[in-house]
């Protein structure tokens, strides 16, 4: 029998179900040696190189490079020794059956079939039960299978017929009961040693209302104090003062306010985003003391009134310029990358939440960003935002810190791939040089990311760069 082996779609990871053969590194009929690269296989997340595990020939290629995705375990090619005939290869392919998904996890070669173990000896047939007693068919089967002697069994069925339950009970091991003695009757012991009998519920009611059980004459069996005996001594609730009408709740009917056009669009987009976008979240905090001090000086020198949010827009824009893999939009099965950062800022307007866009914020200095955000906020509050003010955007910032919100996670604004949620700046204890304890101002940041377009490492690198800019704010004016 010639040495012929299948080369199958390998399985890397528990979630992999299919892969695509990206490139063959050998031509059909070419020889290879152990460790030589055979092909490149792409999965949903990686492109992996597959090396040969033995010397041989790429005898037959069944799946060409760049074709459709193949399920795990599918036959991609046939590997053989030099000199193997085409007839043997054709016979091997005709008789091939897909093996388990793990047959080719490191090279695609399927193991040789193992010898079929000899069948175990059949268990002895049950001994027939010979009896004239009435017994149900199922009970007979169980008794014969277990070899139970049914003579000592007293049948519980009609006319003493032995039932299945009788046989099951007889097969149970005998258990010796542990006798714990008589259960004492519920009782209370008073100061003089006398006993008072009361039900558990009567005791609880008496304790709740501060009623002594010793002074109650029980009306229950053998003089036991019951619930009714205790309730008879509970004082009635005080009557309301004269002239005060009793409280009567009125129906709590809602006021129905239908969605306006803006709220309806916002609801549809956010629902779609939460359903269709696989969110993941990264959280950090940044020291803000240097930025607060620099902002006060810079605003005086530049003659502007830039807010903390304006500085966040500037820092985010510079960060997006360094991390282009986050400055993207997702459209179907494609990712659109942009050269500049168009940052949407979430603004509360009379018509609901809107997200006007600071265009090319990475090219604007602090005076330009402060002027652009102020103009957008004024237009939003006046209800005068236009289509050009809202359309597009490559990233969003939602800041609720001014409302005292410590931390939150925002929903991504499609087709963008990320949004930064900014919480309140808070004074927190910290360790000072020399081991002393002091306080610093920290700002909570949460990055929501679309996992279809941005991986965790890229998002973490983006957040680290942003934190560095906020903690060294002089770089914002470079």
Phi and psi angles of residue 51, each rounded to the nearest 5 degrees, phi first: -105, 155
CB-count exposure of residue 319 (10 Å: 0-12, 13-18, 19+): buried
Q: Work out whether strand 343-345 and strand 395-399 pair parallel, antiparallel, or are unpaired.
A: parallel
Please confirm whether the linkage preceding 415 is cis (ω < 30° from 0).
yes
Predicted local confidence at residue 321, as pLDDT: 95
DSSP state letter for 199: -
Which residues is 37 bridged to in the sheet? Answer: 51
Predicted local confidence at residue 111, as pLDDT: 46
Rounded-to-integer distance, Cα 277 and Cα 265, Å:
17
User: Which residues are designated catalytic?
Assistant: 451
Phi and psi angles of residue 321, each rounded to the nearest 5 degrees, phi first: -65, -30
User: What are 381's two structure tokens?
Assistant: 């509050």
- Alpha carbon 332 to its chain centroid, in Å, reads 23
> Whole-prediction pTM value?
0.51
Predicted local confidence at residue 106, as pLDDT: 42
Place of tokens 């979240």: 281
What is the DSSP track for 24-76?
ESS-TT-EE-TT-EEEEEE-SS-EEEEE-SS-EEEEEE-S-TT---EETT-EE
Q: Which residue in 110, 30, 17 sits closest to 69, CA to CA?
A: 17
User: What are 465's two structure tokens?
Assistant: 């760069």
CB-count exposure of residue 350 (10 Å: 0-12, 13-18, 19+): exposed
Predicted local confidence at residue 434, as pLDDT: 83
Predicted local confidence at residue 381, as pLDDT: 85
Predicted local confidence at residue 115, as pLDDT: 42
DSSP state letter for 313: H
Q: Work out whether strand 418-431 and strand 395-399 pair parallel, antiparallel, or are unpaired.
A: parallel
- Alpha carbon 136 to its chain centroid, in Å, reads 54
Are the C-beta atoms of residues 361 and 343 closer than 8 Å to each other? yes
Cα-Cα end-to-end distance for the chain: 74
Predicted local confidence at residue 46, as pLDDT: 62
Predicted local confidence at residue 43, as pLDDT: 73
What is the DSSP track for 383-400?
T---HHHHS--SEEEEE-
Q: Which residue in 58, 57, 40 sits closest to 49, CA to CA?
A: 40
Rounded-to-integer distance, Cα 255 and Cα 274, Å:
28
Number of H helices, E strands in the chain: 11, 20
For CA atoms 323, 326, 330, 334, give the dihedral sign: positive
Q: Work out whether strand 352-354 and strand 31-32 pair parallel, antiparallel, or are unpaired.
A: unpaired
Are the C-beta atoms of residues 209 and 182 closer than 8 Å to each other? no
Predicted local confidence at residue 262, as pLDDT: 62
**Strand order through the sheet with 70-71:** 47-51, 37-42, 18-24, 70-71
Integer CA distances (angstroms), 474 to 194, 295, 305, 322, 468, in order:
86, 10, 17, 17, 11
Predicted local confidence at residue 114, as pLDDT: 46
Place of tokens 């069944």: 62
Are the C-beta atoms of residues 111 and 54 closer than 8 Å to each other? no
User: What are 453's two structure tokens?
Assistant: 């377009």
pLDDT 10s digit of each residue in the chain, 478 long? 578 999 998 887 666 788 888 899 999 999 999 889 999 888 765 667 888 888 999 999 999 988 888 898 899 999 999 988 989 999 999 888 876 544 444 444 444 444 444 455 556 667 777 777 888 888 888 888 888 888 888 888 887 888 888 888 888 776 666 665 554 444 454 544 456 788 888 888 888 888 888 878 888 877 788 888 988 888 877 766 776 777 778 888 888 888 766 677 778 888 888 999 999 999 999 999 999 999 999 988 988 899 999 999 999 999 999 999 999 999 989 999 999 999 999 888 776 778 899 999 999 999 999 999 999 999 888 878 777 788 889 999 999 998 999 999 999 999 999 999 999 999 999 988 888 899 999 999 999 999 999 999 999 999 999 999 999 999 998 7
């Amino acid at each position: 029998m010639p040495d012929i082996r299948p080369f199958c779609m390998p399985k890397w990871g528990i979630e992999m179900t299919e892969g695509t053969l990206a490139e063959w590194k050998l031509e059909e009929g070419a020889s290879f040696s152990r460790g030589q690269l055979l092909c490149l296989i792409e999965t949903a997340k990686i492109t992996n190189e597959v090396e040969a595990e033995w010397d041989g020939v790429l005898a037959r290629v069944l799946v060409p490079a760049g074709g459709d995705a193949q399920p795990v375990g599918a036959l991609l090619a046939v590997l053989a020794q030099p000199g193997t005939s085409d007839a043997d290869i054709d016979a091997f392919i005709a008789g091939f059956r897909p093996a388990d998904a793990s047959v080719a996890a490191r090279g695609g070669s399927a193991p040789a079939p193992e010898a079929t173990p000899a069948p175990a000896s059949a268990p002895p047939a049950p001994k027939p039960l010979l009896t004239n007693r009435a017994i149900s068919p199922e009970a007979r089967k169980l008794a014969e299978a277990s070899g139970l002697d049914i003579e000592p069994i007293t049948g519980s069925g009609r006319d003493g017929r032995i039932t299945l339950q009788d046989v099951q009970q007889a097969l149970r091991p005998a258990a010796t009961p542990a006798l714990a003695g008589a259960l004492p009757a519920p009782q209370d012991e008073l100061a003089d040693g006398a006993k008072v009998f009361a039900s558990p519920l009567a005791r609880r009611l008496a304790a709740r209302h501060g009623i002594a059980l010793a002074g109650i004459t029980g009306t229950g069996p053998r003089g036991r104090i019951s619930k009714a005996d205790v309730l008879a001594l509970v004082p009635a609730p005080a009557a309301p003062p004269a002239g005060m009408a009793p409280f009567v709740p009125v129906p709590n009917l809602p006021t129905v306010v239908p969605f306006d056009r803006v709220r309806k669009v916002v609801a549809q987009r956010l629902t779609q985003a939460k359903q269709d976008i696989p969110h993941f979240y990264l959280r950090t905090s940044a020291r803000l003391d240097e930025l607060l001090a620099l902002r006060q000086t810079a605003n005086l020198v530049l003659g502007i009134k830039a807010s903390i949010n304006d500085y966040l827009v500037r820092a985010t824009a510079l960060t997006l310029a360094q991390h282009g893999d986050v400055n993207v939009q997702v459209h179907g099965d494609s990712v659109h990358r942009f050269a500049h950062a168009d940052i949407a800022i979430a603004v509360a307007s009379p018509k609901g939440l809107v997200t006007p866009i600071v265009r090319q914020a990475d090219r604007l200095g602090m005076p330009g960003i402060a002027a652009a955000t102020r103009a957008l906020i004024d237009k939003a509050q006046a209800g005068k935002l236009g289509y050009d003010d809202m359309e597009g955007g490559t990233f969003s910032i939602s800041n609720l810190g001014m409302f005292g919100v410590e931390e939150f996670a925002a929903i991504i604004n499609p087709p963008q791939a990320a949004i930064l949620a900014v919480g309140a700046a808070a004074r927190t204890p910290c360790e000072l040089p020399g081991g002393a304890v002091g306080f610093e101002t920290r700002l909570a940041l949460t990055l929501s990311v679309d996992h279809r377009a941005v991986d965790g490492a890229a998002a973490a690198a983006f957040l680290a760069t942003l934190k560095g800019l906020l903690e060294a704010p002089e770089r914002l004016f470079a």
